[in-house]
Structure 1
Amino acid sequence: MMMYRFLFALAIAGLWSAPGWAQLSNNSRLLAPFRSVIEPVRDSTVRVRVNDQDVAIGAIVAADGYILTKASELRSGENITVRFVDGTEFPARIVGSHRPTDLAMLHVDVRNLKPLRFGDSRKVKPGAWVAAIDIKSEPVAVGIVSAVTRKPTGPDAMIDNLNRGYLGVFMTAEDPTDDTGKVIGAKVTRVERNSAAAKAGLKEGDIIVAVNGVKTPGRQALRDALENSRPNDKVRVTYLRDGKEHTVEVTLGEQTMPDRSDIQNRLGGTLSGRRTGFPLILQTDMFLKPSDCGGPVVDLDGNVLGLCIARAGRVETHVLPAEIIVPLIAEFKAGKFAPSSSGTSTSTPPRKDEKNGQDK
């Protein structure tokens, strides 16, 4: 009850309103009363690090070393470690990646861990207070539920990972096929000026058939082949031009054409590279960094509503609901989502094309 009175007084004092909310969401005065709420969950939370840098938060989901975190912040082959609440740090490996939810499962050789106990996000109401958890004694951010669990629509329903390397081509809506009807590649309809593809000499009409020796039969396969890449990575792109096969080395770039809403949203800080295309989301107004995504989110009763999956806007952070996550845990452990050689999930569904096949 004391916490409710404190939060109510804080709101009445006018600290609640924007633009101050960006600073208030992780202000120590507001975070401190949540310590008792998050304490039972902290032991089930880890900090995920890549090459000695914090990239995400993770949640322990099995006592024998299995952890879920945000997939798009990781890359296969990198030095991944996880740090526990007691400060110990252990190497981790990616054992699964699920593109629709942007979840990755890590495994560490540690036993007798405390797995997270998930609740049900559908029971929380708009205006309810929530907190995003780190391994520290205070949450990384607090806020309120601004929209109940829902299915994204329109552009928000489309998967787009801006963390990955950018080729800079547009592709045909229909993938090209051979005489038997078999899809042979992804056909380029336009090459962006000064893009990675333009600098490498790719042209309109080229059909991209492989990346680093991995065949790309269609637009989605090309996107998947680039999913684990980053800007400045060098990749070998094989393409057909006038019936002849060519291979060229391409230094990938980054997407440089944010729309107006992206520009406005970024005024509040960096957004998550992958922030759309989730099957369900619980929307909050928590203000946090992309590197603080991936961990548990609780309500004032300590119920774990899901995992913080993306900083999506200036004052908009999305939670992947518990009811989506729980059924996936056993499938992850069974190897259903084991990463392919290209670093993407082996269970990646096709998606509708929203920009005439714009590359990724």
Structure 2
Amino acid sequence: MKKFSSLLLVSLLSGAMTLGGYKLLVENNDSKKSIITDAAASSYTRPVGLTAENLDFTEAADKAVHYVVHVKNVSYRTVTNPIMEFIYGYRGGQQQEQVGTGSGVIISEDGYIVTNNHVVKDAQDLEVTLNNKKVYKAKLVGTDSKMDIALLKIDSDEKLPYTTFANSDNVKVGEWVLAVGNPYNLNSTVTAGIVSAKARNLGENSIQSFIQTDAAVNPGNSGGALVNTNGELIGINTMISSMTGSYVGYSFAVPSNVTKKIVEDIMEFGNVQRGILGIEGGELNAAASKELGVNDTNGFYVNRVSKGSGAEKSGLKKGDIIVKVDEAAIASYADIQNVLNTKRPNDQVKVTFKRDGKLMTVPVSLSKNDTFSTEIKGLKLENIDATDKRSFGLNYGVKISEINNGRLKPYADDLEGGIILSIGNVKATNVETVSRALENLGEDQSVQVDMITKNGQRLRLII
């Protein structure tokens, strides 16, 4: 009997231990498995950066509408009646008023305003209306047609609300932004979108480097503000991409860092000071890399270095692949311009490039744009300066400083000092434009050149 009782006790203890072990190991593991599964599931379904707080634009909009203004451009033209002149000998005409409108951004409490150059172009009278409906006469301080920026000034007895400039280099693709302006004369209009791209170049020969956004921008928004969610200025809305003239998807803004530098130049020097590396070339991609025989498909390939430029003095040469300027990664010429547009002549930048598979970094002092020259097809070319523009009555062109082309040498006295206006169908806005147009031609190909001689005579050459 005693033996049976001992056996029963052992059996009960064994059963209890087995049951306890099952509870401890199996069910606990199932519980852990359930917790891990739930956590994993929640990480996939959790919204990223889209909380209600992040989508509240009211504070930013309230700031921006007070420093964004309505700009009215008034010009006059004389309208004549040829029939009246022929029948009655009537001479003269009737003055007809033309009105254009846009937006502007107050950048100082004493009344300096940034807008687009095309908003104020050819204006004879400028009028600015604030958000509080007060109207002021404005004067034009200066313009930069290449970047489409203009600076205005109004005189007010009171301190005005103004924007602070954000660092546009810190803007990220996907970031929420607001476009504030006066489309179709609808004052204080705010639209929202995201940054779609940075360093967007809309023309092959453009020096511009835009912020692209899908915030709705329409006629009248030009010159208005592109702001971040803190209400700080990150760009000046400039144009839209549209087949109809109205918003259909994307708009473009001049970055705030570029705008700020242009304004400072106009106020300090009276014009814009631009620095250049002194290189020519093109961005790499699969097709270009194959044609050039290089392995890299990203970066800017240097095809020519200008004599006497900062790039030449720093040792850059044909075949180098620029991958970084200062801290900015370089994938295209627009990326380089995005950095250089905030620099002045004699400023120094760090250029990182690949040569023979090795990375190298050198400091490069920027040259003045007006002194940039190159020689191609026996023509030594340089950008025209302010004196040339006044003398010829031009706002663009490329000067022929020397002729070494054997076929054109006999005409050197007539051609040297002349201004090239176009190469083929390409407007000669600067040396880089002309060089690129000529570079695309084969050795045996000819091209038509329209120019004006130093004596003011219009010529058409075939070179």
Structure 2 residue aligned with 1:224: none
Structure 2 residue aligned with 1:144: 194
Relative to structure 1, is the Cα distance of residues 311 and 333 closer, same or farther in structure 2, using a 3 angstrom cutoff?
A: same
Q: Does 1:47 align with 2:97?
A: no
Deviations, residues 203-257 of structure 1 (Å, cap 9, x unaligned): xxxxxxxxxxxxxxxxxxxxxxxxxxxxxxxxxxxxxxxxxxxxxxxxxxxxxxx
Structure 1 residue aligned with 2:251: 317
Relative to structure 1, is the Cα distance of residues 294 and 95 closer, same or farther in structure 2, using a 3 angstrom cutoff?
A: same
Cα distance in 2 for partners of 1:64, 1:129 equals 30
Structure 2 residue aligned with 1:123: 170
Alpha-carbon shift at residue 119 of structure 1 (Å) = 0.5
Structure 2 residue aligned with 1:91: 137
Determine which of 224, 244, 254 is the counterpart of 1:295: 224
Relative to structure 1, is the Cα distance of residues 137 and 40 closer, same or farther in structure 2, using a 3 angstrom cutoff?
A: farther
TM-score, structure 1 as length reference: 0.50
Determine if contact 2:141/2:153 at 8 Å carries over to the other structure: yes
Q: Does 1:282 align with 2:211?
A: yes
Determine if contact 2:181/2:222 at 8 Å carries over to the other structure: no
Determine if contact 2:178/2:227 at 8 Å carries over to the other structure: yes
- Give the 5 Å matches for 1:330-345: 330-334=264-268, 336-337=270-271
3-state SS in 1 of match to 2:266: helix
- Bigger RCO (CA 8 Å, 6+ sep): 1
Cα distance in 2 for partners of 1:77, 1:332 equals 19
Structure 1 residue aligned with 2:430: 350
Q: Does 1:71 align with 2:117?
A: yes
User: Structure 1 unaligned runs (5+)?
Assistant: 9-29, 159-276
Cα distance in 2 for partners of 1:79, 1:343 equals 24
Structure 1 residue aligned with 2:126: 80
Q: Say which structure is richer in helix.
A: 2
Q: Choose 1 or 2 for highest CA Rg.
A: 2
Relative to structure 1, is the Cα distance of residues 343 and 302 closer, same or farther in structure 2, using a 3 angstrom cutoff?
A: farther
Alpha-carbon shift at residue 7 of structure 1 (Å) = 10
Determine if contact 1:296/1:304 at 8 Å carries over to the other structure: yes
Cα distance in 1 for partners of 2:174, 2:53 equals 12
Q: Say which structure is richer in strand.
A: 2
Alpha-carbon shift at residue 82 of structure 1 (Å) = 0.6
TM-score, structure 2 as length reference: 0.40
Alpha-carbon shift at residue 344 of structure 1 (Å) = 6.0
Q: Does 1:114 align with 2:161?
A: yes
- Give the 5 Å matches for 1:136-215: 139-147=189-197, 149-150=198-199, 152=201, 156-158=203-205
Partner letter of residue 319 of structure 1? A
Alpha-carbon shift at residue 44 of structure 1 (Å) = 1.9
Alpha-carbon shift at residue 115 of structure 1 (Å) = 2.9
Counting matched residue pairs gives: 212
RMSD, matched Cα: 3.7
Cα distance in 1 for partners of 2:125, 2:173 equals 40
Determine if contact 1:95/1:335 at 8 Å carries over to the other structure: no
Cα distance in 2 for partners of 1:330, 1:60 equals 14
User: Structure 2 unaligned runs (5+)?
Assistant: 1-46, 75-97, 243-247, 273-385, 397-427, 438-447, 452-463
